[in-house]
Structure 1
């Protein structure tokens, strides 16, 4: 199932959601101009490589600059391909505007980055020996989805059943619950196997989602609650 949109219109213009999407698009466009060799070095330098921080002696030996923690942020704005980029930005487009509605632009950006940082830390903790650069906005977006899970549980998400020409509406709490179950399956069964996408940072996704669930309340703006769409189920 592929989410198409949600049924809650944004009350305020989601400037920060749009800005984050634009930055991701710009970063991806830049990487497309790089030669394969330059792209390899660029992603290794600006992607999040766990062993770079768990084994600093090895990192210095192979040429990583010591004391550089910028990849914890820069990795959130890099993607490995057009499909990776489109899927992430589509999820942010669907869920980000409503969460930004409740937080305001500045707080939403802080929340987004903190969730992404926590996702990166969880990924390093669970994959300490990996020398593969991790890139993508998935951890930060998972945090946004975690906030959405509690802020708008009874909103409706329109999904496309890709094996059938059908669009159906499901409660957000059901859609996001299935998403969490998929991540749990991957970290318990799929990731240790040779399934496709076994190298995806599934633990990072879960870390970002849990961070969003736990932290969203600290970023809400007073006066931004709107009961027109949520009735008694709003938080």
Structure 2
């Protein structure tokens, strides 16, 4: 007499916890939330604000290197100008020049920022992003002192997320390693010290390509990716370096000892 397949199944221990597999496109809520904020702000600027209100928004929230020249405040002033000189180090990251500009930043944040968000949690992820945005603005200010062209976009913050992800995504069992895991544990693999991580050919190749592309942006100084403005590549570099340095300070996972 034939028995059904169920008769041959090995009983499962109800106390053994199976690893939770995370869907590939199940983005962390903080990444989804930031993306929606970027899109919402841009839609309001494009479809709701008048031309005068849009200009005032840029004056108050974009990052203007010329604002820090000593005689600037004596020649130009508008309501909130002194405060915006402080908060614009961060707020410029919420403004974008076009839908394509937002799309590129959201795409890279979804790929690399999501890995960091799953590892860090929402608050550490937001702190990392904010500091990288500030570092990007500082790097741009140092190399473009007195420039009257405003800087907008989350690219510096996303560059920092990308750099932070390089510290662990290629580790054994990590989300982009040769022998990767496919559950949440992949985002909790211990990371190596920075100098040891830089000896990994995959990390080094990624960084060389990334810095090479940003060097080309600086040499050509041409609008790309629908931004309608020159690439603020110095801000990218500042954010990227900040992400590399900040990673061990914010990483909740104990570092791997060698």
TM-score by shorter chain over 0.5: yes
Question: Taking CA–CA contacts closer than 8 Å with sequence separation of 6 or more, which of the two structures ends up with the larger relative contact order?
Answer: 1
Aligned length: 200
Pick the aligned partner of 1:149 from 150, 163, 166: 166
Q: Is the 8 A contact 1:56 1:66 kept in 2?
A: no
TM-score, reference length from structure 2: 0.69
Q: 1:172 deviation in Å?
A: 7.0
Q: 1:59 aligns with which of 73, 79, 103?
A: 73
Q: Which residue does 1:87 correspond to in 2?
A: 104
Bigger strand share: 1
Structure 2 residue 54 is matched with structure 1 residue 24 = no
Distance across 1 between alignment mates of 2:161 and 2:244: 9
Q: Deviations over 1:161-220 (max 9, x none)?
A: xxxxxxxxxx67645542221112333x223xxx44573211110111111111111111
Q: Mapping of 1:43-54 within 5 angstroms?
A: 43-53=58-68
Mapping of 1:26-45 within 5 angstroms? 26-32=40-46, 33-45=48-60
User: 4+ residue stretches of structure 1 with deviation over 3 A?
Assistant: 171-177, 195-198
CA distance in 1 between partners of 2:38 and 2:203 (Å): 25
Q: Please list every run of 5 or more consecutive structure 2 residues that lacks an aligned counterpart in the other structure.
A: 1-21, 178-201
What secondary structure sits across from 1:102 in the alignment? Answer: helix
The 2-side partners of 1:45 and 1:221 are apart by 35
Residue number among 178, 182, 190 corresponding to 2:220 in the alignment: 190
**How many angstroms apart in 1 are the aligned matches of 2:70 and 2:93?**
22
Q: Distance in 1 between matches of 2:83 and 2:42?
A: 26
